[in-house]
Structure 1
Amino acid sequence: MSRHLLIVGGHGRIAQILTQQLLKKSWTITSLIRSQDQVPQINSLANASQGNLNVLVPNLEHVHDTSQARSILDEVKPDTVIWCAGAGGDKAYWIRE
């Protein structure tokens, strides 16, 4: 039976490497990403792999409470969750240079 992993922040470099490696081991991966524009790049990770790849695009900035987070988990039903989301995006104004 295939293991199912939810990667929160699936567009990041580490998340993409992890996705490729686990797909080769026949895992099912659900990649939660920020933007519809990122979907083609994430889907390209599944080429010639043995696992299954699903992509979700609910922006985490719109998840405001535990019930909204729980609804994502209830929809995906992962065995494991890995958080790869960073501090990027449009609200990175708090980073000082």
Structure 2
Amino acid sequence: MSRIIVFGGHGRIALLLAPLLVARGDEVTSVIRNPDHVEEVEQTGARALVADVETLDTAALSDIIRGHDAVVWSAGAGGGSAERTYAVDRDAAIRTMDAAGEADVARYVMVSWIGSKADHGVPEDDGFFAYADAKWAADEHLRGTALEGTILGPGTLTFDAPTGRIVLDPEGHGEVSRADVAAVIAEVVGNPSTIGRTIRFGNGPADAALPIADALHA
């Protein structure tokens, strides 16, 4: 049994992730900003914790994280202003990494995106630039810490039914269901072989996809 804290606990992926973790015996704390979402989050079997990561400093985040075995960052500003995107997707994410270090919680799983690279190619005048830039900065910060980090880069998210199968580093087949992303997180968080890796994936063509656990060990 592991104690896992999930930031962005009311997100669509997190709502699918929590029941997977709970079903295997893990204790899940889902961090949410809106108290109106407590009931829905707790229906997944997780414990809801209302806290605004955008405003909490590193010390306060460390208090929240302390006592857990792993951190999953699945939060995001969800578009909108570039200022808030940087505040959440970059700055708040980085504070949780620093806080995890202070709290002696080494395992950290970052849910990023498939194109998070230094040369992501998104022009500065594109509305998506702030997200691409913020995620890359957060990913790079994680790589520079002493945390046992894994960066997940799912492709374009869909509402398709889960397949239980993925392709790593897909070429032109980067779409992936949110349910399969949740299953990848669940597999990765307790899998030491994924520490230090950046894993880009999609559902891929059916004839190339492998069961999630097999693909991650390939």
TM over 0.5: yes
Aligned equivalents of 1:58, 1:82: Cα separation in 2: 15
Question: Which of 69, 79, 85 pairs up with 2:61?
Answer: 69
TM-score, length-scaled by structure 2: 0.36
Which residue matches 2:81?
A: 93
Cα displacement (A) at 1:55: 1.1
Number of aligned positions between the proteins = 85
CA RMSD of aligned residues (A): 1.9
Question: Which of 51, 70, 91 pairs up with 1:58?
Answer: 51
Aligned equivalents of 1:42, 1:3: Cα separation in 2: 19
Q: How does 1:1-97 map to 2 (within 5 A)?
A: 2-46=1-45, 53-63=46-56, 65-74=57-66, 77-88=67-78, 92-94=80-82, 96=127
Radius of gyration: which is bigger?
Answer: 2
TM-score, length-scaled by structure 1: 0.77
| Residue ranges of structure 2 left out of the alignment (5+ in a row) | 86-126, 129-218
Cα displacement (A) at 1:43: 1.2
Higher relative contact order (CA 8 A, sep 6+): 1
Q: Which secondary structure state, in structure 1, belongs to the residue aligned with residue 6 of structure 2? A: strand
Q: Which secondary structure state, in structure 1, belongs to the residue aligned with residue 68 of structure 2? A: coil
Q: Which secondary structure state, in structure 2, belongs to the residue aligned with residue 30 of structure 1? A: strand
| Residue ranges of structure 1 left out of the alignment (5+ in a row) | 47-52
Aligned equivalents of 1:41, 1:67: Cα separation in 2: 28
After superposing on structure 2, the runs of 4+ consecutive aligned residues of structure 1 that deviate more than 6 Å are none
